[in-house]
Structure 1
Amino acid sequence: MSQPSNPVNLHGAVDLSAIAAPKPPAPSESTPAGLVVDVSEATFNDVIQQSMTVPVVVMLWQVGEGQSIALNPTMEALATEYGGKFVLARVDVAANPRIAQVFQAQTVPSVLAVLKGQPLPLFQGNYPAEQLRPVLDQVLQAAQENGVTGTMEVDENGAGEQQGAEPVEPPLPPHIQAAYDAIEADDLDGAAAAFQSALEENPRDEEAAAGLAQVELLRRIAGLDPAAVLAAADEAGAGDLAAQLPAADVEVASGKLADGYARLLGVIRVSAGDDRDAARTRLLELFQLAPHDAPEVVKARRDLAVALY
């Protein structure tokens, strides 16, 4: 786990301005509106534009993951404490893997600042508020030095002016809401049962299917040491199904879709019978965790057709 670090100088940083799911829990009712926003790939460019005038702190997390669950209330509380001096943008990497790839996130949670469209890596993992305040103070100092001096206005009642917030969505179907509530409570078995109930009612419910695939992935990687899993897979042969399956899960969970897909395609190319079927089934399950038109999914589907026929 990396320690919180000072933000780097903006000179030479990667420009994010060209970047144009399971539902995360809503911000706490005590958090003024607009200080915490949930960001998708479709709305991320709005956040990048907002960083031209107001400092944005991006939290790459995963709904249901232990350290993410622990860090989230701390970051929400700090956003409220700082009273609009920065916006906290939460990105669920499982639902938005391309954002994780752009930031080259290796683990969750990972936290970065974005100033004038430029990312500044801050820290990875979960830390108490007293260790994070100095990091945020340094972000605000860097923002001041680079002319990013805007703030989110918070009125005397604690309400913040909405900027870049997503529109209010209609209530979720009961089974789907129950599943997300279970994920927030770290009850993966309950979430899986709720998603399964939703699919029994409507087998074509794509949100339930994607949610179930995510929960199954979380259950499979729980307790795994990612570095050890990947090292074991790299030492094993491409056809070693027992080594390659968890490695593909770890890579996809960390946002490395292309690597995880390629790993399973390697198994399919050199295997036959049950092993080949198992690798193909897992690959199809992992496809559900990304948009149908994601470049990684499109390419992997094409490669799968070639490998099979």
Structure 2
Amino acid sequence: MSGAVDLSALKERADAQRQQPQRPAPPSRSADGAAPSSPARTVSAVIDVTDATFETEVLTRSTQQLVVVDLWAEWCGPCKQLSPVLESLAARAQGRWVLAKIDVDANQRIAQAFRVQSIPMVVAIAQGQPVAAFNGVRSEAEITSWIDEILSQLGDALPGMSAGDEMPEPEDPRMAMAEERLNAGDFEGALAAYRAIAEVEPGNTEAASAARNIEFVMRAQAHDPAIVHNAAPHDVDAQLAAADVLLLGQEPDAAFDRIINVVKVTSGDDRTRARTRLLELFELFDPAEPFVVAARRKLATALY
């Protein structure tokens, strides 16, 4: 899921806010304070998070323990069903994970970062990246199984989790070299390295995914951003370029709609080319992403 969600903007905003004078934090609510306390909710197990505290309470904390983010709103009926279940499970988790509650109406930057289209939405964060998510209400048993599976896959990756006996798998030196090139800004060198790995190991989805992402970024960055506004409606190449620019700018819905419109007004090779490009862009995301699911439905309607 991490490739589909970019949380860096929230970190940058938090960094900027730290450079400004900070207002004193409101006093913590005690059990006998004005706000009613819940026997299932404790300070360490459940925390309320805002745009300003997201980096510290979610991203930084997730380097030590799993953080389960509950995206909710006061008007949301299903949220009121799900939240008490999550809070109860968090209180009984004995520190294995923490629940971070975020009001999407009051913290719209976070909602935009997670591309929230429906709530309740629950996202698991580890090492600063989203690793799994679900939408809607689930039973206590389903949520417990979901979290246990995540913790099992994480193993000893987080210091705050109990240590196990299994040794971590050794790092692939080829992948490490490719990542070093990418971090150094050598996109062409990184792309060649990831492609080489994918060619000899067709089952290496990490290398194949990295290659696809780099190919897209290099292509999108080569376009003039003005193409979004200047592209002629029937100019297929221009419309595909505009879609790249929109997607690079974190506007997947607009990007996909551009190409779907091309599919609607073209035929033959042009239509095939547009459809193929759209399917390639879908591969950059988790297929369960709501905007991918919606775009696939629109594409099917446009084709048939």
Name the TM-score, length of structure 2 as normaliser. 0.50
Greater CA radius of gyration, 1 or 2? 2
Q: Greater relative contact order: 1 or 2 (C-alpha under 8 angstroms, separation 6 or more)?
A: 1
